[in-house]
Amino acid sequence: MDPSFKIVIVDENPVRAAILEEGLREAGHVHVVRIGEMAHLLARIYAIDPDVILIDLENPSRDVLEQMFQVSRAVKRPVAMFVDQSDSASIEAAVDAGVSAYIVGGLRKERVQNILDLCISRFNAFARLQEELDRTRSALEERKVIDRAKGILMKAKNLTEETAYALLRKTAMNENKKIAEVAQSVITAAELFK
């Protein structure tokens, strides 16, 4: 890998951008700049004059980068998307991971392949982390809902905590629902009866 490449990461998500930057630095790239603020994006990029631009696909500003393909005085060097016709596996993997790469100045594709590969794996790793976090968060939310429903049942029907939970679970099984859904109905009903 050529450590002299100047790489710009355009990503509004600072955590993901940091993960990617760290990966690039570990791979020996010293010139990595992160842009997290989208105003005047093109002007910033032109000022940095990078060889490779990486952008996340959730970012509407990706369309701004497409302007670099146009012939104009502002564009000093030719820009290409990383992929070409022969490369549908690469574009699929990148889109799947949620990242896109633009190459400035006619760098040979092979020289940038490992940057994109690294990008894809870091983006995928971030997505897995995010998923785990979301799962944990929603499990926590569900736990709270179930606890509240248990409390309502214990008070209203004079049940122990254990039997209240058993009742929720049985109802969920009978109605083919998640326990958290039944718990939510209990809370809603209780609020209506207030």
Partner 1 sequence: MSDKRLRIGFIPLCDAAASIVAVDKGFAAAEGLDVELVREVSWSNMRDKLNIGLFHAAHMIAPIAIASSLGLGHVKVPIVAPFVLGVNGNAITVSPALYASIAAMAEGNIVNPMVSACALARVVASRKAKGQEPLTFGMTFPFSTHNCQLRFWMAAGGVDSDEDVRLVVLPPPYMVESLANKHVDGFCVGAPWNSVAVDLGIGFMLHFVSEIIGRVAEKVLAFRSRWAQDHPDALSKLVRAHARAAVFIDDVAKRDEVVAMLAPANRIGVSPEVVRRALDGRMKVAPDGATRVDENYLLVGRNGSGRPDPAQAAWLYAQMVRWGQAPLTKEMCDAAKAVFRSDLYDAALGPVQKTVLGEPADGIGAFAGPPFDPRDITGHLSAWRIGRVPVA
Residue number, 4 or 72, with CB nearest to partner 1:
72
Residue from the set 1, 19, 48, 64 that interacts with partner 1 by CB under 8 A: 64
Verify binding: residue 37, partner 1, rule CB under 8 A. no
Select from 68-76, 110-118, 120-128, 170-178 the region that touches partner 1 (CB under 8 A).
68-76
Verify binding: residue 65, partner 1, rule CB under 8 A. yes
Q: Strands 52-56 and 99-104, how do they pair? A: antiparallel
Residue number, 43 or 189, with CB nearest to partner 1:
43
Determine the Cα–Cα distance for residues 158 and 85; give it in Å rounded to an integer: 69
Provide the greatest CA pair distance for the chain: 78
Verify binding: residue 78, partner 1, rule CB under 8 A. no
Verify binding: residue 10, partner 1, rule CB under 8 A. no
Cα dihedral 74, 78, 83, 85 sign: positive
Verify binding: residue 69, partner 1, rule CB under 8 A. yes
Residue from the set 38, 47, 139, 189 that interacts with partner 1 by CB under 8 A: 38
Residue from the set 2, 49, 66, 162 that interacts with partner 1 by CB under 8 A: 66
Determine the Cα–Cα distance for residues 104 and 76; give it in Å rounded to an integer: 9
Verify binding: residue 88, partner 1, rule CB under 8 A. yes
Verify binding: residue 62, partner 1, rule CB under 8 A. yes
Residue number, 39 or 192, with CB nearest to partner 1:
39
Closest C-alpha to 148, from 131, 132, 165: 165
Determine the Cα–Cα distance for residues 3 and 176; give it in Å rounded to an integer: 57
Residue number, 62 or 177, with CB nearest to partner 1:
62
Residue number, 81 or 154, with CB nearest to partner 1:
81
